[in-house]
Structure 1
Amino acid sequence: MMQIELIDTFLDLCETKSFNRTAERLGVTQSTVSGRVRSLEASVGVKLFQRSRSGTALTTQGLRFEPHARSLRHDWVTAKNAAQDTALAGITMRIGLQHDLVGIEIKRLIGHLREILPQTAFLLEADYSSQMCSDLIIGRQDIAILYSPQIQPDLYFETLGEVRYVMVSTQGDTLAGVGKENYILANYSATFANAHAALLPDLTHVSLSIGQNAAMVDLLTSLSGSAYVLEHSAKALIASGICQRVVDAPSIDQSVFVGVNVRNRHRATYRKLIRALHEQYPSQHANGRTRSERSAKGEVSAISPAKR
């Protein structure tokens, strides 16, 4: 029967690429690390690491085994906490966050997470939707806050709310003054791209496209041009005198989703986190009510394999 210590040692060694460093981090001797690796290799029947003068590296078989090892580790933690009926106290909750959402009241979000789970450590990582969905499946992340859900049997998603993108320009305050040659096309998500193409077809085929709000802000600050940025970034650019709001350009609202592995969707800790996230990302338009008010009335939309 495989011991979880073998998986922990394997995953730590994948990160450190050093038997000495892994031994220090795990508080064991180097010989113990070596022994665990040999035991694991004997269990799976292949060599997982190659040691050389340049260091320690995964073999081809080790690279194939790594995502499954992460999944095994995730399943072990899930099973252990389910059996003990704990609230993940004393462990790390790994949260993936869409790149563009990092700058939106992140301090408030962290404060709220610490308030509802004071004994839990949080690891927040900025990434793109496709990678976060993959990480949820293999157990590399516990929760993901993203733009583009990828519907798969192992994943469950809920709509949290929306963020708004608006057009700003260094050239003028109307679309008539926006030159196609200086327009920077935003490519924040497939949904955003489709909405932009429908609303502004004449500005769809241009020579430069950017997929991150922060990079777009940097470009507008250092160069001249016109582009869509998040509403809070637009306010900062306008306040600094760098840009003007293009008043007749339509705003584009991007839905924000939370995703979890289906095995965790009903666990109390995850439901607490999801409720907190509903408050973090309210809907821009909810018939006069905020997203949190709609959530309280049971109007929050969910996306799961059963509904597809």
Structure 2
Amino acid sequence: MELRQVEHFLAVAEEMSFSRATERAHVVQSALSASIAKLERELGVRLFDRSRQQIRLTAAGERFRGHAYEVLRATRAAAESVVEFRGTLSGTVDFGALISYGPLDVAGALGEFHRAHPFVRLRLRLSQAGASAYLSALVEGSLDLALVSKPNRFPPQLDLRLLFEEPMVFVCRPDHPLADRARLDVAGLAEEELVGFPPEFGLRRLMDEAFHVAGARPQTRYEVPAGYAAIAELVANGLGTAFMPLSEARRFPSLRPVELTDQILWRVYLAAPPPDQMTPAATRLADTLLDAAARQQD
């Protein structure tokens, strides 16, 4: 078994398409197919079910995938440790980003890291499936680090460090009947037509739980799997109201933020594998982000 075969397998497993995997692996499709076929012969099992229009992993393929990520992670860590020994950090860090960073200057932290380690390649990933997808990717090894908000589970094999927290506010147009209120109860907002994120997003779960605790059910009319700018535009055009972290609400001066009576805190964590499973480059990036969060709180 060759490392290249493992890389080809993971490219197909993640893309679920040989044509897209060839673009990612920078090989022609015939070479990729031959590589996968050779790997299957060596293992004595089928890794992919090709009997349908869309290929799928077999049970053996699912089992092999987890180990394949471990092989790549260990190989990268070994190579980067030698480079670090020589005094120059290099390699690739796959980083799961959020739609919003709140008060944390993530772009500034990434810039600081790039200036200090210009030979490290950063690959930013943005998942439409929210924190759960990032946590699964970290466990299986396809991500090195991720920012997560209100994860619905905390896998015991991962480390989660709180980066910051800030209060949520109700956001509406200035001519909305509730715009001039000093504070609002969540339960009293159950009849509002809300613009929010899909259920997989941490912020959506945070507010759904707040309504549940208050004995009410939110009416989320529009689900937007995009940034706060899109939500703000819908609110500004009268399609509904929304909840936002305070730092985000302040970015839209045409809207009116209103405090909530019971403080609801949005918390963002840095999720990573245990230190002994992290590459040197990922460790340095994690340290940079944690330092940036500490400075932001000072």
TM-score by length of 2: 0.73
Contact 1:166–1:250, Cα closer than 8 Å, also in 2: no
Q: Tell whether 2:180 aligns with 1:173.
A: yes
Aligned to 1:155: 158
Which residue among 188, 192, 201 is the counterpart of 1:182? Answer: 192
Separation in structure 2 between the aligned mates of residue 82 and residue 137 of structure 1, nearest angstrom: 21
CA displacement 1:12-69 (0-9 Å, x = unmatched): 34438337972x7656666643442232102322123456896x83452465243442
Aligned residue identity for 1:173: D
Q: Tell whether 2:36 aligns with 1:37.
A: yes
Aligned to 1:5: 4
Residue 261 of structure 1 and its aligned partner are, at CA, apart by 0.9
SS at 2:250 equivalent: helix
Greater mean deviation of Cα atoms: 122-131 or 32-41: 32-41
Residue 141 of structure 1 and its aligned partner are, at CA, apart by 0.3
Separation in structure 2 between the aligned mates of residue 63 and residue 256 of structure 1, nearest angstrom: 34
Gaps of 5+ in 2: 197-201
Equivalences for residues 93-112 of structure 1 within 5 A: 93-101=93-101, 105-112=105-112
Aligned to 1:143: 145
Aligned residue identity for 2:180: D
Contact 2:163–2:270, Cα closer than 8 Å, also in 1: yes
Does the C-alpha gap of structure 1 residues 109 and 272 become closer, same or farther in structure 2, counting only changes over 3 Å? same
Which residue among 245, 259, 268 is the counterpart of 1:256? Answer: 268
Aligned to 2:242: 227
Does the C-alpha gap of structure 1 residues 38 and 151 become closer, same or farther in structure 2, counting only changes over 3 Å? same
Does the C-alpha gap of structure 1 residues 223 and 155 become closer, same or farther in structure 2, counting only changes over 3 Å? same
Contact 1:132–1:144, Cα closer than 8 Å, also in 2: yes
| Identity fraction in percent | 21
Contact 1:88–1:120, Cα closer than 8 Å, also in 2: no
Residue 269 of structure 1 and its aligned partner are, at CA, apart by 3.5
Separation in structure 1 between the aligned mates of residue 58 and residue 291 of structure 2, nearest angstrom: 44
Contact 1:47–1:62, Cα closer than 8 Å, also in 2: yes
CA displacement 1:236-281 (0-9 Å, x = unmatched): 33x22xx222256455332221111114477654443223212444
Separation in structure 2 between the aligned mates of residue 53 and residue 124 of structure 1, nearest angstrom: 32
Aligned to 1:217: 232
Greater mean deviation of Cα atoms: 273-282 or 45-54: 45-54
Aligned to 2:199: none
Separation in structure 2 between the aligned mates of residue 262 and residue 229 of structure 1, nearest angstrom: 32
Aligned residue identity for 1:132: Y
Aligned to 1:81: 80
Residue 105 of structure 1 and its aligned partner are, at CA, apart by 4.3
Aligned to 1:117: 117
CA displacement 1:47-95 (0-9 Å, x = unmatched): 23456896x8345246524344233322322244346646894432101
Highest RCO, 1 vs 2 (Cα 8 Å, sep ≥ 6): 2
TM-score by length of 1: 0.71
Separation in structure 2 between the aligned mates of residue 35 and residue 219 of structure 1, nearest angstrom: 50
Aligned residue identity for 1:157: L
Does the C-alpha gap of structure 1 residues 111 and 3 become closer, same or farther in structure 2, counting only changes over 3 Å? same
